[in-house]
Amino acid sequence: MCSAHAYNGQPICSGQTNVVVHLFEWKWADVASECSALAQLGYCAVQVSPPQEHAVLEDPGTGLPPYPWWQRYQPVSYALDSRSGSHQEFVNMVETCNDVGVYIYVDAVIQHMTGGQSGYGSSGSFYDGATEDYPGVPFSTDDFHKQQPDECTTSSGEIEDYSDAQQVRFCRLVGLRDLRTANDYVRDMLVEYLNTLVDIGVAGFRVDACKHTMPEDLEHLYTNMHDLPTRWFPAGSRPYVFQEVIYVGGDEPIRPEHYTHIGRVTEFRYSANIGNIFRGWDGQQLSYLEDFGEGWGFMDGLDAVVFIDNHDNQRGHGPGGDSVLTYKDDRLYKMATAFELAWPYGQPRVMSSFAFDDTEAGPPSDGNGNTYDVECFNGEWVCEHRWHQIENMVGFHNAALGTGMSHWRTISDNAIAFGREGTAFIVINNEDHEVSGDFETGMPDGEYCDVISCDGPTPPCNSCGSVTVSGGNAHITVPNDSDSMVAIHV
């Protein structure tokens, strides 16, 4: 490692929590308004969309909708002016959220710039992808990888074979102009961008497309980030980093473990497999979850960020295919997310989507691509993080944080129960019928409210479900309906 500062994989959270919610394509003002509620629910942090100036694609190509979601992933400069809001609105959001103990993790796009088109970005900067000219940074053609023996060796200049690590790291990803991240000047510009965000109060980063960047280049960037500001964080606190490294098995030479020494890594095998299990595909069933995580060949849980879906694979982009569960599979999605928040593996991230039929479409907006204010449950903004079966499981997760799994019980192939060493207990029913029985919970004696159907864990439960534990045991009935779970915690 370059220094004692090279490892940046310790989540930055306030209190006993580590749950991240991805408020995908929310405007900064809407995120700021949401943070107080997120704090009450026990969320640690918000992953926000890339805040840098991006391409504005009114006509992205034949058959594509105007202003697609992925224009945010085509940087034009590092000015903090995007369709989510202005620089000052970004600052206001960070300060508002930090003040209530919910921190901001920025989606950092630092591997590439735009595609081959030219135009003006969201802050008005001109760019020309064809000539690799980005005066808003500034970057010029010398700052990008070229078709030459020590860089990109394909005739197209594109990645053609993912089993060739050199192609993956030095050729273009779907036409995006690939930065020379080993170049000192490029590194300086990227570090300046990251430190601008850190100095504002951003607590961490989801780093995009890391498998396309050499680990030593990323390590240099992370090592040279500033400490977090002492206005909100203890002196010497380092920015948190988790890195997108797509891997679901096979012969790809670039793997998550190549990046875990410098930060956490997204565990895509979790998402792909959890979908198969809850769908019952490929012979999978819930009873197989007893050793889910390292027992399935995943990375060490202390290195992993886990999720049911993300903004890419919920659209069929990337690995997992049709097995990936999304908000459109609402019953299965609620169960799978409850499992994610109950299970002691990895740092959980919860998705909050906007509704889509076209997988390329951008967020709800007017005809000029101006994003609408968020109104949850209006048919446009899905807000899964506010579904009571999900938001109430954040408290379950936090109550059990730091404990292991205990009291596992396989009720049937697709009905399971497990506890968290006396702090929490859950039963999940994915059968086509009700399940009922007496369970050894390990919980202290008393009455508990079912957080799947109630607003909180402690009585009075009023008309929602309650569970009485006596001698550590409880009789629990779980229906086969939209709430096919019962969960209690201290």
- Please tell me whether residues 447 and 326 are part of one structural domain: no
- 90 contact partners, CB below 8 Å, separation of at least 6: 28, 51, 80, 84, 200
Cα–Cα distance for residue pair 264/208, rounded to 1 Å = 13
Per-residue pLDDT of the chain (490 residues; tens, 9 = 90+): 334 455 899 999 999 999 999 999 999 999 999 999 999 999 999 999 999 999 999 999 999 999 999 999 999 999 999 999 999 999 999 999 999 999 999 999 999 999 999 999 999 999 999 999 999 999 999 999 999 999 999 999 999 999 999 999 999 999 999 999 999 999 999 999 999 999 999 999 999 999 999 999 999 999 999 999 999 999 999 999 999 999 999 889 999 999 999 999 999 999 999 999 999 999 999 999 999 999 999 999 999 999 999 999 999 998 888 999 999 999 999 999 999 999 999 999 999 999 999 999 999 999 999 999 999 999 999 999 999 999 999 999 999 999 999 999 999 999 999 999 999 999 999 999 999 999 999 999 999 999 999 989 999 998 899 999 999 999 999 999 989 999 999 9
- Please tell me whether residues 79 and 198 are part of one structural domain: yes
- Please tell me whether residues 451 and 388 are part of one structural domain: no
| Domain-embedded: residue 484 | yes
| Domain-embedded: residue 157 | no
- Please tell me whether residues 89 and 214 are part of one structural domain: yes
- 408 contact partners, CB below 8 Å, separation of at least 6: 290, 416, 417, 418
ω before 51 within 30° of 0 (cis)? Answer: no
* Active-site amino acid positions: 208, 244
Q: Which of 348, 377, 400 is the last residue of a domain?
A: 400
Hey, what's the torsion of the CAs at 115, 120, 126, 132, to 10 degrees?
0
- Please tell me whether residues 188 and 279 are part of one structural domain: yes
By C-alpha distance, which of 281, 413, 402, 394 is closest to 337? 394
Question: What CATH number should be reported for the domain holding residue 304?
Answer: 3.20.20.80
**CA dihedral (164, 168, 172, 173) positive or negative:** positive
CA angle, residues 178, 248, 298, in degrees to nearest 5 = 120
| Domain-embedded: residue 150 | no
Alpha helices in 83-164 (DSSP H): 87-99
Does the global pTM surpass 0.95?
Answer: yes
| Domain-embedded: residue 31 | yes
| Domain-embedded: residue 4 | no
**CA dihedral (59, 62, 68, 73) positive or negative:** negative
- Please tell me whether residues 339 and 256 are part of one structural domain: yes
| Domain-embedded: residue 334 | yes
- Please tell me whether residues 324 and 428 are part of one structural domain: no
User: Which residues, in sequence order, are bridge partners of residue 304?
Assistant: 265
| Domain-embedded: residue 6 | no
Identify whether the C-beta of residue 390 lies closer than 8 Å to the C-beta of residue 337: yes
Which residue type does 489 have? H
The bridge status of strand 406-412 relative to strand 204-207 is unpaired
- Please tell me whether residues 327 and 436 are part of one structural domain: no
**CA dihedral (356, 361, 363, 369) positive or negative:** negative
Question: What CATH number should be reported for the domain holding residue 431?
Answer: 2.60.40.1180
280-314 b/e with 16+ CB inside 10 Å = b? eeeebbbbbbeebbeeeebbebebbbbbbbbbbbb
| Domain-embedded: residue 151 | no
- Please tell me whether residues 298 and 191 are part of one structural domain: yes
Q: How many domains does the chain have?
A: 2
- Please tell me whether residues 387 and 430 are part of one structural domain: no
- Please tell me whether residues 474 and 370 are part of one structural domain: no
User: Which residues, in sequence order, are bridge partners of residue 265?
Assistant: 243, 304
- What DSSP string runs through 413-442? TTEEEEE-TTSEEEEEE-SSS-EEEEEE--
Q: How much is the pLDDT for 269?
A: 98
Domain extent for 420: 406-489
- Please tell me whether residues 388 and 438 are part of one structural domain: no
User: Residue 213 phi/psi, 5° resolution?
Assistant: -130, 140
Q: Which of 347, 369, 400 is the last residue of a domain?
A: 400
- 150 contact partners, CB below 8 Å, separation of at least 6: none
Q: Which of 378, 400, 422 is the last residue of a domain?
A: 400
In 3-state terms the chain splits into helix, strand, coil percentages (rounded to 5) of: 30, 20, 50
Which residue type does 298 have? F
